[in-house]
Amino acid sequence: MTNTTVTLQIHRFTPRAERERDRARGGSPFAKKSSPFGDSGAASARRRPRGKQWVQEYVVAASADDSVLDLLLTIKRTMDPTLAFRYSCGHGMCGSDAVAINGTPNLLCTAMVKDWAKPAEAAASVDDEGFRATGVAAAGSDDAVVSVSPVADADGSLGVIELAALPGFPVQRDLIADIDPMLDQIRKLKPYLQADGVLATTSEGKIDVFEYLQHPEQLAQYETLTNCIACGVCEGLCPVYAGGDAFIGPAALIWASRFVNDSRDERTAERLEAIDTADGVAACQSVRACTRQCPRGIDVGEEMWQIVAKVRER
């Protein structure tokens, strides 16, 4: 049993119940919710979650080598079963647990206490109303990378870690953000191999398998990009993305780039055309904040630059 602790400051959110929202709108629950301006209502509702927000502190037994996900699981199992967060694989492969850690988007399961706990006095103070008195370092800024704090103070505290839902997306509950806008943008760009061909058959007339040969150099053109797990960390860091309305976002462009660079894919022209739009590559401001925290080692900013160049060279 460890005798050191970490204080988690968690930005919590409970959405207002559906019926309460209807009453607050003053309308009948049976009323049509679509707007006369063409908005289906669903998207805008998703972007404007209403509900109760507050910051809650938990002091958890922890060691410097624990992951932040370990601490949340301890809270969930032993202190507060109402705390909501999302995870699945637990080792950086599924991308389901991206949140803002000390203001910087990252994965809960790969973020270690020793890398993120900061001394209590350095943590932003929280006033009685539950509002933070000072700002967390802007996502992607150097200030957002906290110093290592592996040594406990006299009280056994390893420090404070602040958690909030992934920025750039509507919050669903506590640390769970609605990443559907990103997945919709990725889907729109057809993230699958499009290659024409004729099915080969064996001498007995049975369907044979397709084989698309590729040199190792051709594979190297896109192999790293296949590592993208659609976690949304790059979108959370991007100051332009903010919900995907004005910019389809770096993750969608990474998926487009993955197939543009694949020698087997035969829709390069259509793919480049699809991202040559006002909300496509034209919206990228080359801030390159997207590069900083990709958990899969993709140099997102450089890939953005490459795909912008390809669109312009057409």
**Interface residues toward ligand SF4, by CB under 6 A:** 95, 228-234, 250-251, 254, 294-296, 298, 300
**Which residue type does 30 have?**
F
Size of the site for ligand FES (CB under 6 A): 13
Give the one entry of ligand SF4, ligand FES, none that residue 87 binds, where binding means its C-beta sits below a cut-off of 5 to 8 angstroms depending on kind.
Answer: ligand FES
Give the one entry of ligand SF4, ligand FES, none that residue 88 binds, where binding means its C-beta sits below a cut-off of 5 to 8 angstroms depending on kind.
Answer: ligand FES
Q: What's the DSSP call for residue 126?
A: B
262 interacts with ligand FES by CB under 6 A: no
Are 140 and 104 in contact by the 8 Å Cβ rule? The answer is: yes
49 interacts with ligand FES by CB under 6 A: no
Q: What's the DSSP call for residue 41?
A: S
In whole angstroms, give the CA distance from residue 176 to residue 11. Answer: 11
Closest distance between ligand SF4 and the C-beta of residue 241, in Å?
10
Which residue in 73, 83, 109, 233 binds ligand FES (CB under 6 A)? 109
Closest distance between ligand SF4 and the C-beta of residue 272, in Å?
19
Closest distance between ligand FES and the C-beta of residue 109, in Å?
3
In whole angstroms, give the CA distance from residue 168 to residue 47. Answer: 10
**Which residue type does 242 have?**
A
Residue nearer to ligand FES on the CB measure, 250 or 280: 250
107 interacts with ligand FES by CB under 6 A: yes
Q: Which listed range, 20-28, 106-114, 145-153, 203-211, lies at the site for ligand FES (CB under 6 A)?
A: 106-114
Alpha helices by DSSP H, listed for the chain, are 18-25, 42-47, 68-78, 113-116, 180-188, 216-220, 233-237, 250-260, 268-275, 300-313
Closest distance between ligand FES and the C-beta of residue 97, in Å?
4
Are 237 and 290 in contact by the 8 Å Cβ rule? The answer is: yes
**E-strand stretches of 125-177:** 157-165, 171-173, 176-177
- Residue 20 to residues 16, 43, 61, 177, 309, Cα–Cα distance (Å): 6, 19, 38, 21, 50
In whole angstroms, give the CA distance from residue 91 to residue 107. Answer: 9
Residue nearer to ligand FES on the CB measure, 96 or 291: 96
Closest distance between ligand FES and the C-beta of residue 235, in Å?
15
Give the one entry of ligand FES, ligand SF4, none that residue 6 binds, where binding means its C-beta sits below a cut-off of 5 to 8 angstroms depending on kind.
Answer: none
In whole angstroms, give the CA distance from residue 48 to residue 298. Answer: 31
Are 195 and 266 in contact by the 8 Å Cβ rule? The answer is: yes
Residues 79-98 that bind ligand FES (CB under 6 A): 87-90, 92-97
In whole angstroms, give the CA distance from residue 64 to residue 150. Answer: 6
Closest distance between ligand FES and the C-beta of residue 91, in Å?
7
Give the one entry of ligand FES, ligand SF4, none that residue 296 binds, where binding means its C-beta sits below a cut-off of 5 to 8 angstroms depending on kind.
Answer: ligand SF4
Residue nearer to ligand FES on the CB measure, 49 or 250: 250
Give the one entry of ligand SF4, ligand FES, none that residue 177 binds, where binding means its C-beta sits below a cut-off of 5 to 8 angstroms depending on kind.
Answer: none
Which residues contact ligand FES by CB under 6 A? 87-90, 92-97, 107-109
